[in-house]
């Protein structure tokens, strides 16, 4: 499958604190932190629960659905891989079924498509199998 952005952008370092997330995306699952102490969802990953200070943070698969909380459409290329490409669309997606945490991703759409705050979106898993180590990004598209 094709990718939202051209090849050559930095890959995510799959750091220990975020390992279950990256493993989840490889299996097309959205997995985020949830505190075993108080039940709070948390994103991005951290070593402690911001609410109850428990270090016993679990990971939970959540519904790969959300709504657009904000957006932007960059034109200026911020990386050599983006020269001559763009504009492209970045969305901040709120996950109402996971404690309203927010995630950043690309909205899969035409570069001139109108974007509406509040619009419902669903996750699209974008594998980068050729990378070493391979990884999968979470992208978003408007719910059909």
Partner 1 sequence: MSERTLRGKVAIAGIGETTYYKHGQSPDAEFKLALQAVLAACHDAGIDPKEVDGFASYGNDRSEAVRLAAALGIKELRFSNMHWGGGGGGVAASVANAAAAVHSGMANCVIAFRSLAQGQFARYGRGQAVAAAAGDDAFLFPYGLMSPAQRFAMKITRFMTEHGIRHEALRSIAMASYHHAQTNPSAVMYGRPLTEEKYDASRWIVEPFHRLFDCCQENDGAGAVLVVPADRAKDLPHKPTYLLGTAQGGHHRSAAPVHNAPDYASAHFPTVAKNMWAMAKLGPQDVDVVQAYENFTGGVLLSLVEHGFVDPKKANEFLVLENLLAPTGKMPMNTSGGNLAECYMHGLEMVNEAVRQLRGTANNQVAGAEVVAVLGGPMVTPVSSLVLGTEATL
- Shortest Å, Cβ 9 to partner 1: 6
Site for partner 1 in 61-100 (CB under 8 A): 69-76, 78-79, 82, 87-88, 90, 92
**Which one among 44, 58, 96, 134 touches partner 1, defined by CB under 8 A?**
44
User: Quick one: 58 or 87, whose CB is closer to partner 1?
Assistant: 87
User: Phi and psi (nearest 5°) for 18?
Assistant: -115, 10
User: Contact at 8 Å (CB) between 141 and 109?
Assistant: yes
Report the alpha-carbon distance of residue 13 to residue 25 in Å, rounded: 14
Residue 127 makes contact with partner 1 by CB under 8 A: no
Residue 14 CB burial class (10 angstroms; 0-12, 13-18, ≥19) = middle
The burial class, CB within 10 Å (0-12 / 13-18 / 19+), for 32 is buried
18 binds partner 1 (CB under 8 A): yes
- Which of 31, 40, 45, 141 lies at the binding interface for partner 1 (CB under 8 A)? 45
Least distance between partner 1 and beta carbon 144 (Å): 22
Per the DSSP assignment, residues forming a β-bridge with 126 are 137
Instruction: Tell me if 11 contacts partner 1 by CB under 8 A.
Output: yes
- Of 23-31, 40-48, 59-67, the window that binds partner 1 (rule: CB under 8 A) is 40-48
Burial of 91 (0-12, 13-18, 19+ CB in 10 A): buried
Q: Which residues bind partner 1 (CB under 8 A)?
A: 4-5, 9-15, 18, 43-46, 50, 69-76, 78-79, 82, 87-88, 90, 92, 101-106, 117, 137
């Amino acid at each position: 499958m094709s990718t939202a952005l051209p090849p050559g952008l930095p890959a995510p370092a799959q750091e220990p604190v975020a390992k279950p997330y990256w493993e989840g995306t490889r299996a097309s699952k959205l997995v985020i932190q949830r505190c075993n102490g108080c039940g709070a969802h948390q994103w991005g990953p951290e070593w402690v629960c911001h609410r109850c200070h428990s270090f016993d943070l679990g990971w939970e698969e959540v519904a790969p659905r959300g709504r657009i909380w904000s957006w932007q459409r960059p034109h200026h290329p911020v990386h050599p891989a983006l020269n001559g490409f763009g504009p492209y669309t970045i969305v901040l997606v709120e996950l109402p079924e996971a404690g309203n945490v927010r995630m950043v991703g690309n909205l899969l759409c035409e570069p001139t498509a109108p974007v509406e705050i509040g619009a419902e979106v669903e996750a699209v898993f974008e594998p980068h199998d050729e990378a070493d180590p391979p990884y999968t990004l979470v992208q978003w598209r408007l719910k059909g």
